[in-house]
Amino acid sequence: MQTVQQAITFCSDALDAAGVCFGHGCDNAWDEAVQLVLTVAELPVDSDDSVLQHALDEGQVKRIGQLLHRRIEERVPLPYLLGRAWFAGLELRCDERAIVPRSPMGELVLNDFQPWYAGPEPKRLLDLCCGGGAIGLATAYYHPECQVDLLDLDPAALALAEENRALLKLDNRVTCLQSDLFSAVAGRRYDIILSNPPYVDARDLAEMPAEYHHEPELSLGSGTDGLDITRRILAQAAEYLEPHGLLVVEVGNSWEALEDAYPQVPFTWLEFEFGGHGVFALTAAELVQHQASLSHG
């Protein structure tokens, strides 16, 4: 008989010894082992220590071993193996149709976009380049008065977003649209636009650990400096925001290239309590003020 604690310890040691890359929801071997074992054991992933002596049956032990083998030998991110991911406290479906949800914007959603959003209670929000829909769906879930549009160019990713919309029972307030950036929402204006677009530069893309090769490249790479998509967002966003509106975009390690490309633009770089970097905010007023620079960056 193997207990939950024994299985977690075994998996954690094996992950550490194998030198796998973390960053798809967990940043260390122990937390990933906890997620693996508790999910297979059908126990809540936020269980307390009282579950450690819970006995696993033979089928569960075998399943844990199979998933651990694939995680190590094939370098498949754990959320893809489990078919689920956790974002901003919500469980979502997760597979290789979209990147694993891991944006620090989840913290922003849980903090009601404060202190960066200064407008009235948001009624309409856009999740641009939504992937599996995590950011926009979390917003709709925690802000029941908000209508949310999810946009993505990739129909496969959008199909996953639609499944997650149904899972969270948000069909009445969330619209999923295939769109090349803003093309499908011409004439609409939003209180807040959130975007986690492709932003990996060519060098980082070539050097990414094997785990990232399981994710759709369309959702990662964005030209030589990682800013191809972000440039287009910056050039167009002002016309889709209310006067009090806010744009928030994640650019990760491409933040230095962004600052170099737009030296006159006053990007506000967000800080997060639980980690994450390379997320900027601009108000609608700032976008309008610097429209000339943003249109030619």
pLDDT digits (tens, 9 = 90+) for 104-134: 999 999 999 999 999 999 999 999 999 999 9
**Which range, 228-232, 236-240, 259-263, has the best average confidence (pLDDT)?**
236-240
Strands 241-250 and 190-195: parallel
Q: Please compute the mean of the pLDDT values over residues 288-297 and round it to a whole number.
A: 84
In three-state secondary structure terms, 112 is coil
Give the model's pLDDT for residue 211.
73
Structural domains in the chain, CATH included, are: 2-82 (1.10.8), 97-295 (3.40.50.150)
Overall average pLDDT of the 15-36 stretch: 90
**Closest to 139 (Cα-Cα) out of 129, 151, 127:** 127
Exposed/middle/buried for residue 293 (C-beta within 10 Å: 0-12, 13-18, 19+): middle
- Answer whether residue 275 shows pLDDT above 90: no
pLDDT at 224 over 80: no
Structure tokens at 137: 């769906």
Angle among Cα 82, 88, 92 to the nearest 5 degrees reads 35
pLDDT at 33: 95
Give the percent of the chain with pLDDT over 70. 93
Q: For 98-103, what is the mean pLDDT?
A: 91
Q: How many Å apart are CA 165 and CA 137, to the nearest integer?
A: 7
Q: What pLDDT is recorded for position 252?
A: 86
The answer to whether residue 217 scores a pLDDT higher than 90 is no
Residue of higher predicted confidence among 287 and 47: 287
Averaged pLDDT of the chain:
91
Compute and round to an integer the Cα radius of gyration of the chain: 20
d(CA 276, CA 88): 14
* pLDDT interval class at 207 (50, 70, 90): low
In this prediction the pTM is: 0.91
As a whole number of angstroms, the distance between CA 236 and CA 226 comes to 18
Would you state the pLDDT for residue 199?
A: 61
Mean pLDDT across 166-170: 98
Selection from 268, 287, 294, 158 nearest residue 219 by Cα: 158
| Strands (DSSP E) found in the chain | 2-3, 55-56, 84-87, 90-93, 124-128, 147-152, 174-178, 190-195, 241-250, 268-269, 279-283
Cα 52 to Cα 47: distance, rounded to the nearest angstrom: 9
Enumerate the β-bridge partners of residue 2. Answer: 56
Write out the H or E segment, with its range, that includes residue 119. none
